[in-house]
Every structure is written in C-alpha cells, then in structure tokens.
Amino acid sequence: MAQGSQKQPRGIMISHRHKCIFIHIPKCAGTSIEEALGHLDGHTGRGGQDHRSIRHLQPLQTNRFSLSNDNIYEIAKRLKRQYFKSELNHRNKYTVTDTQYDSYFKFTFIRNPWARAFSWYKAVMRDEITKKGLRITGNPSLEEALKTHAGKGLLKPQPYWIKDFTGTIHLDYIGRFETLEDDFEEVRKKANLPEIKLPHRLKGLGGEYRKHYTETAKKIIAKIYEEEIALFKYTF
C-alpha cells in the first residue's frame, strides 16, 4: 500500500492529523463537510470533491474480500485512479496505510434517497457541462431523468460507497443529512476535531422534493434503492 502523505492542510477528507476518514456519498452535504474540513482549501472550479468509495481505501488483503465481479471492477477503478488518472484537486489522491485504515475514525453521511435523487436532478439541470457529459438534451422531467440515470454514476445506491470488500458496512459513524448539524457535531466530538461550523449556504433540508415526484418516479426510487430504504428506515 502507498504511504499516507504527511504534508496536508488541517482536516481534509483523509486527515492524518485528526486520524479520520470521511466517505463522501454524492448529494449528502459532502461538499459542505469537505469545505469545513479544509479539503477544498486553495481549490477553485470543478473537480474538487473526493468521491472515492470505501473500497478505494480498504487494504487489499485477500482474506478481506471475495473476488466478485463488483469487487474486481472497484479494484481496477482504484488502481487506475491512483496511478494513471490526474486529479484537479491533488488531495483526491491522498491515501492511508493498512494500519491507518484500521485505526482511523471512519464516517459518512446518508440521505433520504428520494430527496437525494431530486437534489442530483436539480444540480444537473442547471449545469450544462454535466448535462453534456451525461448526454442529456433539453430539459427532461424528473421521471424521465430517473428512468435513465437512477442507480448509476453519482446516483449509485448509498451502500455502494460504504460497503467494504466483504459486502459489510464497517464505519464508526453514519450521520444523516436530515439531522446534519447535530450529527456533524457528534462526529466532531468523536473524532476529536477542533471547533468547526458547516457553511451556512446549505439548502434543501426540507421536504420540497415530494411535490416533484410522479407515482412512477416514486416507484423507480423505491425499486432501485430498496436496500438502503430498508437498511436506513427511509420513507417517501
């Protein structure tokens, strides 16, 4: 395993100073958390966020995973990203040793899948570069967008980001977007972080997403994200 870089600014996605790892599930306030922890310090523009799954950091020990097609794919992605892909934010290549992985405080934040998908949809619809990359033309409805993109890319189910090579979730803390400030304060205390406040620009904490869903769109989310709905006890 590559050694973790020791020359890092205060509190980043992988913080050796505070001995913690934050797994950033897209559209779960991760950008605000990364900003608060300093991961975006000195970075402007696109490509600043770190969206690696836990399997991109977990030690590659044969007794810790099965050679499923999904795991093999993740290992290939991990090696490509680490050794062949350039990053606009150099911090997105930071890694940890096996010992650091086992001992560091690991946490994430999750979100109601219906709200998360709607947040993704709003962000995509106002970003022409992202729309082009996803081959989205015009202004499709939420239902139309979900028929093509639910469960894919940054909308992969939340367990994908936090399950290890054994298919198990081994994190020290899972916070919820819906109780973000209280849960982040809990993380701060457990990880022994300094006094940190999340950016005040956070929006979308309420239930406005519900009025935008058709019955078909609701069922798309219910089917594709069935596992996390049951696991984290979410309802529409």
CATH architecture of the domain 14-231 equals 3-Layer(aba) Sandwich (3.40)
What are 1-41's pLDDT values in tens digits?
Answer: 334 433 333 323 777 777 889 998 999 988 778 777 765 44
Mean pLDDT (10-residue bins), the chain, 236 residues: 36 69 90 68 48 84 73 82 58 77 95 97 93 94 98 96 93 96 92 78 71 98 99 98
Residue with tokens 């990359």: 133
pLDDT at site 138: 93
Q: Is the dihedral of CA 151, 222, 175, 182 positive or negative?
A: positive
Give residue limits of the domains in the chain: 14-231
CA-wise closest residue to 53 among 129, 102, 108, 6: 108
pLDDT at site 41: 46
CA-wise closest residue to 67 among 75, 79, 77, 56: 75
Distance CA 191, CA 144 (A): 41
Strand-pairing partners, residue 105, are: 20
